[in-house]
Amino acid sequence: QAMEKSRPLWDNPLQFVFACISYAVGLGNVWRFPYLCQMYGGGGFLIPYFIMLIIEGMPLLYLELAVGQRMRQGSIGAWKIISPYLCGVGMFSVFIFIFKCPGNTGNLPWLFWGFSPHVPPSQDPLPWATCPLNSNHTGYEEECEKTSSTQYFWYRQTLNISPSLEASGSVQWEQALCLTLAWLVVYLCILRGTESTGKVVYVTASLPYCVLIVYLIRGLTLHGAVNGLVYMFTPKLEQLSNPKAWISAATQIFFSLGLGFGSLIAFASYNKPSNNCERHAIIVSLINSTTSVFASIVTFSIYGFKATFNYESCINKMILLLMNTFDLEEGSVTADNLSEMKGYLMATHPQEYAQLSPQLRNCSLQAELDTAVQGTGLAFIVYSEAIKNMEVPQLFLKSPKSFSVPWPPRVPLWPQLEQGISDVLPEGSACPWEILPSLHSVVCLINCVIGLIFTMEAGNYWFDIFNDYAATLSLLLIVLVEAIAVCYIYGIRRFEKDLHTMIGRKPNWYWKIMWAFASPLLIISLFIFYLTDYILTGKLQYQAWDATQGQLVTMDYPGYALAVIGLLVVASTMCIPLGALLTFVRKRLKRESVST
């Protein structure tokens, strides 16, 4: 039977909705969603994203909330009630939690170090407003001249990034101290336990929207913002045949909603049994996806300004170069006739033009939109660009940290851990809650030590590995097992009766079709497409910063990085078969002991 909670965590249903939003809304919406939009062709990513929201996101969020609310236990205990052989599903969620914790907090040191020590409150101009002078004070730093002042500040002064994963470098003590500070903040947030969670969710859920609105107002007033928005909403239909775009859309839905981590099940277990989890699943899904699109509009408006500025700067440099080289009259070369003048000068002055050709560039707004900003630094670079162009930038200097605020109080991850302890204890025994502060301190310390890898010069590349592979295929597998377990092991009709008992009505045909057929089949198809694509390409690649070119270049992962990726995937996925095997062996031994 379901175990009743001795003390509800939520004072009212609205608080639960705010908690889910606080859990979901964060850097995943602010940088990961716009980054995927840019990677897969703007509107070409929005199409699979909203298809995944309808087929995967809302149905599976409803399923997890209903399972937690009905079983009244955490992830491990809830799936053990459905079937003892599914205890590995809950352990799977705990492993994903362990693997994702270092990555989720890995970007906080960059925020603390990038925006605090470098920038006194009164500094004007901001350090990323212009390129720094070289050591001889005869010009600007060569690397900065080849890119932009904002990107230089991010990649060189904040990350001090290495040219490749192999050149790992040493731990940078400034970032290491900031990492320690970040985990200290996390520990203080969870020190009082889960009962303090409900007190802060109103603030943590609302604050990112206030910051985004400020950036939206400024972003839409910047020159070239429309170019970024057109780029965002114009689909590249060829991306619809790219299986990686669909897999990225599915995992973005799982990441942003928190599906498969077990935290939502633990969260919902504190609800009243009569709570309308169907309505809450719809509300949270729509708010979360709207937030992602809203954050992308903000990002791409600033992104369009940056690309337009780079494009116009390129045009002006080419015009000035041609006028000075060929002694042309001022105004004879414009942006409109630049291509014609190049052709004319190449025909009339072939030798001079040939000598000049290495310095000439083909300026393209589309190329700038495709390559202006990439990678995990998208939000940091773009929003820093927005701060630079505000009237009083110092007032907004600390606001990038606001996007990291939702994570430390993302205490739904910690109730999952606490529930896991309770679930694995023998039946009838009480959880020694007095050990939780010590447990939290140990977990925070371990994650802080693991996170030191992100403070190395190659830390950004390791961050990408944890972000891309620690819970990508694993999430697809776990939600597939969850849907199959509820529909075909627990039974869809039995689950219908449970929902009728809780909310007073049975689920309609949409929910049942999605749970039983559409969602599992789509996830299986994604697995097949991903494996097929990997077999055809045969390699995994990453984006590395090339200081000599001032841009990102594509490189192959070295062998030891591939081993880490394999370990991250296998370590969590093996929990399900190992859990079933251990349950089978335990039952077999128990039967043999009874028979003897």
Tens digits of per-residue pLDDT, 382-414? 767 667 766 666 555 554 444 444 444 444 455
**pLDDT higher than 80, residue 433:** no
pLDDT at 441: 80
**pLDDT (tens digit per residue) in 75-106:** 888 888 899 898 888 887 777 777 767 666 66
Question: Could you tell me if 313 and 149 are in contact, meaning their C-beta atoms sit under 8 angstroms apart?
Answer: no
Confidence of residue 13 (pLDDT cuts 50, 70, 90): low
- Percentage of the residues of the chain whose pLDDT score is greater than 90: 15
pLDDT at 7: 43
**pLDDT (tens digit per residue) in 468-508:** 787 777 788 888 999 999 999 999 999 999 999 999 899 99
**pLDDT higher than 60, residue 16:** yes
**pLDDT higher than 60, residue 186:** yes
Structure tokens at 144: 């900065």
- Give per-residue burial for 5-24: e unless 16+ CB within 10 Å, then b: eeeebbeebebbbbbbbbbb
Q: Out of 126-140, 201-215, 245-259, which region has the weakest mean confidence (pLDDT)?
A: 201-215
pLDDT at 3: 41
Annotated binding residues for Na(+): 24-25, 29, 256, 288
Taking the C-alpha atoms of 313, 318, 321 and 325 in order, what is their torsion angle to the nearest 10 degrees?
Answer: -170
**pLDDT higher than 90, residue 55:** yes
Domain ranges of the chain: 13-313+372-427+446-590
Which CATH code for domain 13-313+372-427+446-590?
Answer: 1.20.1740
**pLDDT higher than 60, residue 559:** yes
Q: Residue holding tokens 């908690």?
A: 19
pLDDT at 33: 85
Question: Could you tell me if 261 and 414 are in contact, meaning their C-beta atoms sit under 8 angstroms apart?
Answer: no
**pLDDT (tens digit per residue) in 155-176:** 888 888 999 999 888 888 888 8
Provide CB contacts within 8 A for 342, sequence distance 6+.
322, 360
Annotated binding residues: 24-25, 29, 256, 288
Taking the C-alpha atoms of 41, 219, 250 and 561 in order, what is their torsion angle to the nearest 10 degrees?
Answer: 80
pLDDT at 423: 59
- Give per-residue burial for 187-224: e unless 16+ CB within 10 Å, then b: bebbeeebeebbebbeebbebbbebbebbbebbeebeb
pLDDT at 486: 94
Comparison of pLDDT for 199 and 483, the residue scoring more: 483
**pLDDT (tens digit per residue) in 105-139:** 666 666 666 555 455 555 566 777 788 888 887 88
pLDDT mean across residues, the chain: 79
Of 225, 148, 196, 187, the C-alpha closest to 7 is 196
pLDDT at 227: 92
Comparison of pLDDT for 105 and 32, the residue scoring more: 32
pLDDT at 375: 53
**pLDDT (tens digit per residue) in 495-551:** 999 999 999 899 999 999 999 999 999 989 888 887 777 767 767 888 888 988 888
- If phi > 0 it is left, if psi is from -120 to 50 it is alpha, else beta; for residue 556 that is beta
pLDDT at 417: 59
**pLDDT higher than 80, residue 568:** yes
Averaged pLDDT, 550-566: 88
The whole-angstrom separation of Cα 561 and Cα 348 is: 54
**pLDDT higher than 60, residue 372:** no
Comparison of pLDDT for 138 and 30, the residue scoring more: 138
